[in-house]
């Protein structure tokens, strides 16, 4: 029986309810996502949340409660961040929510917020050292981690809504306001000496970060629909800041990709990223679409510790993908074993020079080569490519995700050429050769288990009179596999410029 | 527990095993599909299948048996067509298959073949009167149906392999051979007076038909990846025939889209379609990717009678789609009810002039609007469009499928504009207005059940002082729905150029 639970995040800008479903294998699927833009930061008056803010909050919480009741979900994790934390009457609000809905809302400390953001990033990205920054409506959390271990964290009591109110009083942020904001941020960051000149990547979390990515992606006509792990240079961030801060609000709303209900506050948000990059001496910003709520979710499902190793992140996300798209696991693992074994044997014989990165890509592609069948058995390669290039596979960069997608769905040079043309901005032409070679290798590995029955259990690559022969150790003579190996091996030979054939060896032959 | 069964089709050109899975709701999914090109027609010598043909057949059948055993599938329907039927020693071959594999193969009569092809077409296409033609390797079946009722059928003892052997002796089919083939076909068709000058569409079944479609789609850079229900004019068929019959085999193999292992026999196949179109005075050919095997499958699952009405075909295929992609049915039906009710009320007030075709499209789009969530809740509109434009929805034309996809996934004019640009060859620009209007209507209908709990059960459209008001009858005050209706209604008003607002009416108000 699948378990459902809700996560409510009463943020300073938005109140959101996300419903997750966890199946018996630990697969977590987001099944619903409702948000209300409450802008609670704007309802803080002299340190208290005003009546309108209280009323709107209670109204949203009652609606969420009804929604959860309608789906018989009683397991709810509810948290509140800066706006409620900063309000003198925050505790009172929490009590009223408890009375009216039965939902217990936990007020997160700034440290909690920082830790959850950090957990979300370390659980979903391939990063070693870095700085995370999560800008909310009324607070900003920053962490520094080294070797995937949280070192320092800080929570500043300002966010995009409050900074906008503090510094920008006209439609176009005036130079005085901008300069004042820069000084303010610089002073704030200076209070954390551990931030200065770290020269490591900055990972930006939250709606402003995603919107920044979207604006940039639109401007360069980026070929992939994905924000997570999207890389931007410090220069690109500065140039977008420069552009949007010179536009009056109405024109700013028209900037391609900008979120209409964020256009009024986004300048302050981008200014924070820009200042932090300068302060930390960082050249590179990555977007994380995983944040606070995901950190809470990960803690709930997998515990409070981030995966110590990127391999763990990747294994988990491959497992999630396999479960989600109902992959035939014994077959996929067998294909992976055949593919990696051939890869390793070819390497041992000095027949290629690929290393662990390519091996890792091949491994992921082998395990996921069949995901498209869940959409349809017809044209399943195209569906595999669609899924792997459109659905987040956490722990991999965009380039890695596309390489995995291309190898997993490899069928012909024609299809590959289309994919490469479509994504020329992410996978350079030079990638064609490795995709083709590993793609053909994967097709042979798939054919080695074409009957999905693991009848061929091992392969041995041997050289015989200038020819390479794959000895296939199988349980029976005349396996379906043997009728279907000639064609893919001929193509493999051509792509690798190596004559490779095969020979069946039946288990009983050896006894 | 899902039931699996295999269908083996021992054809004159190809031997194929398809594994299907049927779930408790009657959803049929193809889970595997293996083929071996045996070309049995070529192994008929003086009316007997030669030893090599027998050996290859037995070998393939043993492999299929192993494959079925490996998956514990004992339910197998196996049929053989022309090559085995025409072989004097066909019964002996069937006995040997039975002995060696335990599988009972039924030799289909020409009439059986014709009937199954007809059943497949009537179960998957919107056609009233028409002629079906299924060209195999060694026989050709033709049927004529009126008002979706099979009227006549015939099976000719020639197919692409045998016709090629009879008439084409050189690499380039010479004019003498082509002319002799035309005369031969004309004489053959003349034996069926019920074919002459029927002026109804011809529906072409089988690999040659699909390949013909592929060649044509490549030549016009068709924007959709789908053969089923692909329309071609008689002139287009004639012109492709003209083109491919003038090329030597090696050049023919290079024609974009042509299937390499069919290039040698395809000229004869297209010539048969061309002759039939001329003979029947038909202007239009539709491709059916459903054929013999599907007819057998449909009979096995739903019985031997074709759906009497196209609505039944469509209902079945929508149900299959909903089951397959795990749609929340109570929600989808509620959305459909709201959407159609608003459509009907707007019509009753004279606010639009759309008729049953648009209503049918809206109905399908409403039921299927959420299919993309099965891929991912993020960007689910894009996934919905992908699924509906890439996975066959039987019973609809390509244009209808795209309209359903566009309305179901409608989110913004920007996304729609991309879809229209991509498919300008299928949906003309004039379609934009209806998609936009029905798209906004569907978004309102979805919002009317945003909580997925059917809390708003009916709507009533009333005019009040030049304004239109949707009275929403709901079970409670303050439903989530009411907080979210303003924006979609404002957009609906703009698209329809009608001021439309809403008013909640709670059930208890009326008591």
Residue B94, domain CATH: 3.30.420.40
Distance between CA B353 and CA B338 in Å, rounded? 19
Residues A486 and A404 in one domain: yes
Cβ(B83)–Cβ(B14) below 8 Å: no
Q: Radius of gyration (Cα) for chain A, nearest Å?
A: 26
Q: Looking at beta carbons, which residues of chain A come within 8 Å of B64?
A: 480
Distance between CA A179 and CA B502 in Å, rounded? 47
DSSP symbols for A207-274: HHHHHHHHHHHHHHT-S----TT-EEEHHHHHHHHHHHTTS-HHHHTTSTT--TTTTTTHHHHHHHHH
Helix (H) or strand (E) holding B141, with range, is strand B140-146
Q: How far is CA B133 from CA A185, A397, B140, B206, B291, in A?
A: 76, 51, 7, 9, 10
Inspect the interface and report whether the beta carbons of B452 and A476 lie closer than 8 Å.
Answer: no
Q: pLDDT band for position B510 (50/70/90)?
A: low
Residues B229 and B291 in one domain: yes
Residue A202 within a domain: yes
Enter the ipTM. 0.91
Last residue of a domain, one of A66, A91, A108: A108
Q: How far is B164 from chain A (nearest CA, A)?
A: 25
- Interface residue A225 vs chain B (CB under 8 A): yes
Three-class secondary structure of residue B143 per DSSP: strand
Residue A244 within a domain: yes
Residue B216 within a domain: yes
**Residue A21 forms beta bridges with which residues?**
A4, A29
The pair of structure tokens assigned to B327 is: 């749609």
* Closest CA relative to residue A232, chosen from A211, A253, A250: A211
Q: How far is A480 from chain B (nearest CA, A)?
A: 5
Residues A432 and A492 in one domain: yes
Q: pLDDT band for position B511 (50/70/90)?
A: very low
Distance between CA B342 and CA B445 in Å, rounded? 8
Give me the tens of pLDDT residue by residue for chain A, a chain 511 residues long: 678 999 999 988 889 999 999 888 778 889 888 988 888 888 988 899 999 999 999 999 999 998 898 889 999 999 999 899 999 999 999 999 999 999 999 999 999 999 999 999 999 999 999 999 999 888 999 999 999 999 999 999 999 988 998 999 877 778 889 999 999 999 999 999 999 999 999 999 999 999 999 999 999 999 998 999 999 999 999 999 999 999 999 999 999 999 988 898 999 999 999 999 999 999 999 999 999 999 999 999 889 899 989 999 999 999 999 999 999 999 999 999 999 999 999 999 999 999 999 999 999 999 999 999 999 998 999 999 999 999 999 999 999 999 999 999 999 998 999 999 999 999 998 889 999 999 999 999 999 999 888 999 999 999 998 899 999 999 888 788 998 899 999 999 999 999 999 999 988 765 4
Q: Looking at beta carbons, which residues of chain A come within 8 Å of B32?
A: 377, 452
Residue B435 within a domain: yes
pLDDT, chain B, mean: 94
- Interface residue B378 vs chain A (CB under 8 A): yes
Residues B149 and B54 in one domain: no
- Work out the burial of residue A13: count CB atoms within 10 Å of its CB; fewer than 13 is exposed, 13-18 middle, 19 or more buried: buried
- Interface residue B411 vs chain A (CB under 8 A): no
Residue A298 within a domain: no
Range of the domain at A95: 3-108
Last residue of a domain, one of B108, B136, B154: B108
Residues A102 and A134 in one domain: no
Residue A314 within a domain: yes
Q: Tens digit of pLDDT for each residue in B448-487? A: 999 888 999 999 999 998 899 999 999 888 788 998 899 9
Cβ(A382)–Cβ(A372) below 8 Å: yes
Residue A299 within a domain: no
Q: What's the 3-state SS for A465-491?
A: CCEEEEEEEECCCCCHHHHHCHHHHHH
Last residue of a domain, one of A108, A130, A160: A108
Residues B347 and B496 in one domain: yes
Instruction: Provide the pairing of β-strand A44-45 with B105-107.
Output: unpaired
| CATH value at residue B505 | 1.10.3210.10
Who contacts B265 (Cβ-Cβ below 8 Å, separation ≥6)?
Answer: B160, B161, B163, B164, B208
- Interface residue A32 vs chain B (CB under 8 A): yes
Inspect the interface and report whether the beta carbons of A383 and B390 lie closer than 8 Å.
Answer: yes
Q: Looking at beta carbons, which residues of chain B come within 8 Å of A33?
A: 377
B-proximal residues of A, 477-496, CB under 8 Å:
478-480, 483
Residues A281 and A314 in one domain: no
Residues B466 and B353 in one domain: yes
Residues A384 and A498 in one domain: yes
Predicted confidence at residue B1, as pLDDT, reads 61
- Interface residue A475 vs chain B (CB under 8 A): no
Q: How many domains does chain B have?
A: 3
Residues B166 and B104 in one domain: no
Residues B330 and B281 in one domain: no
Nearest neighbour of A31 by CB, restricted to B377, B451, B483: B377
Residue A300 within a domain: no
Inspect the interface and report whether the beta carbons of B453 and A375 lie closer than 8 Å.
Answer: no
Three-class secondary structure of residue A204 per DSSP: strand
Nearest neighbour of B36 by CB, restricted to A31, A476, A483: A483
Predicted confidence at residue A171, as pLDDT, reads 74
Neighbour count for residue B222 (Cβ, 10 Å):
18
- Interface residue A450 vs chain B (CB under 8 A): yes
- What residue of A is the nearest CA neighbor of B480? A63
| CATH value at residue B266 | 3.30.420.150
Cβ(A111)–Cβ(A156) below 8 Å: no
Residues A31 and A130 in one domain: no
Inspect the interface and report whether the beta carbons of A70 and B387 lie closer than 8 Å.
Answer: no
Q: How far is CA A181 from CA A167, A280, B368, in A?
A: 6, 17, 49
Q: What's the 3-state SS for B53-102?
A: HHHHHHHHHHHHHHHHHHCCCCCEEEEECHHHHHCCCHHHHHHHHHHHHC
* Closest CA relative to residue B228, chosen from B236, B238, B244, B217: B217
């Amino acid at each position: 029986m699948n378990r459902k639970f809700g996560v409510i995040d009463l943020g300073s800008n938005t109140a959101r309810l996300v419903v997750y479903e966890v199946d018996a294998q630990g697969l977590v699927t987001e099944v619903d996502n409702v948000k209300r833009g409450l802008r609670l930061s704007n309802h803080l008056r002299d340190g208290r949340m005003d009546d309108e803010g209280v009323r709107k909050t209670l109204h949203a919480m009652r609606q969420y409660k009804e929604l959860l009741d309608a789906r018989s979900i009683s397991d709810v994790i509810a948290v509140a961040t800066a706006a409620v934390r900063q309000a003198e009457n925050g505790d009172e609000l929490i009590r009223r929510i408890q009375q009216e809905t039965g939902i217990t809302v936990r007020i997160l400390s700034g440290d909690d917020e920082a830790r959850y953001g950090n957990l979300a990033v370390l659980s979903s990205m391939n990063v070693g050292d870095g700085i995370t920054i999560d800008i909310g409506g009324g607070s900003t959390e920053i962490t520094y981690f080294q070797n995937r271990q949280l070192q320092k964290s800080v929570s500043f009591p300002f966010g995009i809504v409050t900074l906008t109110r503090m510094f920008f009083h006209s439609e176009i942020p005036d130079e005085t306001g901008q300069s004042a904001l820069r000084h303010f941020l610089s002073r704030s960051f200076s209070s954390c000496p551990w931030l200065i000149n770290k020269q490591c990547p900055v990972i930006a979390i939250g709606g402003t970060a995603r919107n920044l990515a979207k604006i940039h992606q639109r401007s360069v006509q980026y070929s992939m629909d994905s924000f997570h792990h999207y890389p931007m240079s410090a220069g690109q961030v500065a140039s977008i800041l420069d552009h949007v801060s010179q536009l009056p609000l109405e024109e700013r709303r028209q900037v391609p990709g900008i979120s209409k209900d964020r256009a009024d506050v986004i300048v302050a948000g981008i200014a924070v990223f820009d200042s932090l990059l300068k302060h930390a001496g960082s050249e590179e910003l990555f977007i994380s679409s995983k944040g606070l709520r995901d950190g809470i979710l990960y803690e709930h499902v997998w515990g409070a510790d981030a995966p110590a190793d990127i391999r763990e992140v990747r294994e988990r996300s491959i497992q999630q993908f396999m479960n989600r798209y109902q992959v035939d696991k014994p077959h996929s693992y067998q294909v992976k074993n055949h593919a990696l074994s051939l890869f390793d044997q070819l390497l041992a014989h000095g027949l290629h020079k690929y290393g662990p990165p390519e091996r890792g890509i091949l491994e992921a592609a082998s395990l996921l080569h069949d995901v498209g069948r869940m959409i349809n058995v017809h044209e399943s390669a195209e569906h595999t490519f669609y899924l792997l290039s459109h659905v987040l596979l956490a722990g991999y960069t965009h380039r890695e995700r596309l390489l995995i997608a291309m190898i997993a769905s490899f069928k012909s040079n024609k299809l590959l050429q289309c994919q490469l043309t479509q994504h020329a901005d992410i996978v350079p032409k030079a990638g064609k050769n490795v995709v083709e070679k590993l793609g053909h290798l994967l097709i042979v590995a798939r054919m080695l288990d074409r009957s999905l029955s693991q009848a061929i259990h091992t392969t041995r690559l041997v050289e015989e009179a200038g020819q390479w022969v794959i000895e296939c150790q199988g349980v029976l003579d005349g396996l379906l596999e043997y009728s279907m190996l000639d064609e893919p091996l001929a193509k493999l030979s051509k792509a690798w410029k190596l004559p490779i054939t095969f020979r069946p060896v039946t288990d009983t032959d050896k006894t």
